[in-house]
Chain A
Amino acid sequence: MELGQLFLEIGGVILLLALVGRAAGRLGITPIPLYLLAGIGLGAVMSLGNAPEEFIHTGAEIGAVLLLFTLGLEYTSEELSSNLKANRQIGIIDLALNFTPGLVAGFLLGFTPLAAVLLGGVTYLTSSGIASKILRDFGRLGNRETPLILAVCVIEDVVMAAYLPVVAALLIGGTLFAVGINLLVALAAFGLAFFLALRYGHVLSRVMNVPSDEALLLGVLGLVLVVAGAADQLNVSAAIGAFLVGIALSGEVADRARQQIEPLRDLFAAVFFVFFGLQLNLAEVPSVLLPAILLTIVTGATKFAVGWMGAARAGVQLRGRFRAGTTLIPRGEFSILIAGLGLGLAPSLGPLAAVYVLLTAILGPVLSRFDAQLAPLLQRRPRGEAGKEVSAPGQG
């Protein structure tokens, strides 16, 4: 293909994303669901040639790697370990309540066990990107329920860091023995890397922290891709390698790297969502609509319950509990990432995940905004113990 045509097509796609991003900003929502829609729309009206398809595919993979890397950068290793200790209980409840519906739905839909496990991951992971955007945009960082929301997101991210290598090993398949070996190698590599990152992260941070911005950007990007590539070769999943590099970097170098990598991540992550949308088979959408709606209702309620319980334990009152519950409902970038792994396993997994992410990403923020109107409705209904417990602090 000619270079000119390649540029034209890729440029066209990116320009479309810019428009979509502006529309999202105008509406005050995150662009992620809109990028998905754009991809779906693009796939319906035109088909890109082989070369742009290839380029976008590579870009999408880089996007996934950078998403995980910047996620790892967000947390310091102390934050991770202290958080895991303090919120273990709610983390386990969260996993049990939100992984199960996806898993069960997968079996009911006749997926293979592995595809069902993937769907469990899709319904489990709250979008920390959307949740933190809600918190920032609505000025809720100082709210009392906010630490709980963030803590749940952190735990989920750590769980996913262990989940992805397992799934990656299972995906390669083969004999039971081969899968077992793959799994062992993956978990050992993950454990070793996690240990090294927590233990010797500061050494790496010091070595990487060069004064020149340019050298820093190239150094960090290079390291991320090399580690991601190595992880992929070991069948640990490239994204997890990147996540661990992010965890290992801390302090000044993490702050600088975050600033420099973020624009790149935004670009490639957008490409990632579009690519996912492009791959979807539109003919599948009507058949997944009903399961997606049911899953949204069920897992919306279970996520809500997790947020509600966690906030109640932290001594937060009715409206705060409601906000905690609704803020956790949206699923997003990582649900798509997980679904992307299994596109070959179950043809309807992709469309199902896309519709599901769209629904939850809209439902959560909208509900969350109306805490003053909706939360009191929940107060009147239970007249039993829960009602008393709720009304007591109000009188005092």
Chain B
Amino acid sequence: MVKVDETLLPGVGMRYDFDGRFGKRVGVITHRDGRRELFVSLKEDPDACAQSIVLAEDEAEVVSDLMGGSTVTRRMGQSMQDIEGLAMDWLPLAGTTPFDGKPLGSTMMRTRTGASIVAIIRGGGAIPAPGPEFVLHAGDTVVVVGTAEGVTHAARLLNGQPEPQKTRAKTGSPVAGTS
């Protein structure tokens, strides 16, 4: 687990930062007015910022989604409360996805993860219940429903990360079986 330091900046807001594994300090300042400032330190002067980017609240949300991870855990927590054992998530297709330009059927989503794709969000509009011949593009957002495990797997699959199958199989199957 990364240890994040929390520092109060009077009159400005709050600073959260940590010493990165590769030698630079990384942090976010949450300004009082909702702006978020993302910064990295200089390598030769770890006290100073090499670069800082100021983001509006909604832009910061997009960036954190693009960085991955947070959507899965955050949204899953919410929907799990609605129906026990059922998870739903919006998974953005990053530029690195192996399914750019490929039909939806080629993901073999249901077979591999047990989760189903129920809709695609593209250009601000939703395409509900797409068929297996529907062609995916990078930048789409895929709406997936399944078990919590299944949705996590789906997120990995769509972004082309290999599955750690051996460890998953043990813990994964009983959960899938009961639900």
Residues in A lying within 8 Å of B, measured CB to CB: 74-75, 79-80, 82-83, 128, 132, 139-147, 150-151, 153-154, 255, 316-317, 319-320, 323, 371-372
Contacts and interface: CB of A to CB of B under 8 A. Distances in A.
B46 interface: yes
Given A316-B47, A319-B48, A320-B48, A141 B12 contact: yes
B10 A75 contact: yes
Contacts of B48: 140, 143-144, 319-320, 323, 371
Contacts of A139: 39, 49, 51-52
B10 A142 contact: no
Interface in B1-58: 7-12, 15, 17, 25, 27, 29, 32-33, 37, 39, 41, 45-49, 51-52
B27 to A, nearest CB: 5
A79 B8 contact: yes
Nearest to A139: B52
A83 B45 contact: no
Contact of A132 (B11, B17, B27, B52): B11
Contact of A146 (B9, B25, B46): B9
A235 B7 CA distance: 38
A55 to B, nearest CB: 32
A389 B162 CA distance: 49
A74 B9 CA distance: 11
Given A255-B33, A317-B47, A319-B47, A151 B10 contact: yes
18 contacts: A74-B10, A75-B11, A79-B10, A83-B8, A128-B11, A139-B51, A139-B52, A141-B9, A141-B37, A141-B52, A142-B15, A144-B48, A146-B9, A150-B9, A150-B11, A317-B46, A320-B48, A371-B48
Most chain A CB within 10 A, of B10, B15, B39, is at B10
Contacts of A143: 47-49
A160 B174 CA distance: 67
B15 to A, nearest CB: 6
B47 A83 contact: no
Counting chain B residues whose Cβ lies within 8 A of the other chain, the interface size class is 20 to 34
Interface of B: 7-12, 15, 17, 25, 27, 29, 32-33, 37, 39, 41, 45-49, 51-52
B19 to A, nearest CB: 11
A316 B7 CA distance: 14
A144 B46 contact: yes
B29 A141 contact: yes
Nearest to A80: B10
Nearest to B16: A142
A189 B107 CA distance: 73
A84 to B, nearest CB: 11
Contacts of A141: 9, 12, 15, 29, 37, 39, 49, 52
Contact of A142 (B11, B27, B32, B33): B27
Nearest to B38: A142
A256 to B, nearest CB: 11
Contacts of A128: 11
Contact of B32 (A82, A153, A255, A323): A255
A266 B76 CA distance: 47
B15 A147 contact: yes
Contacts of B8: 79, 82-83, 147
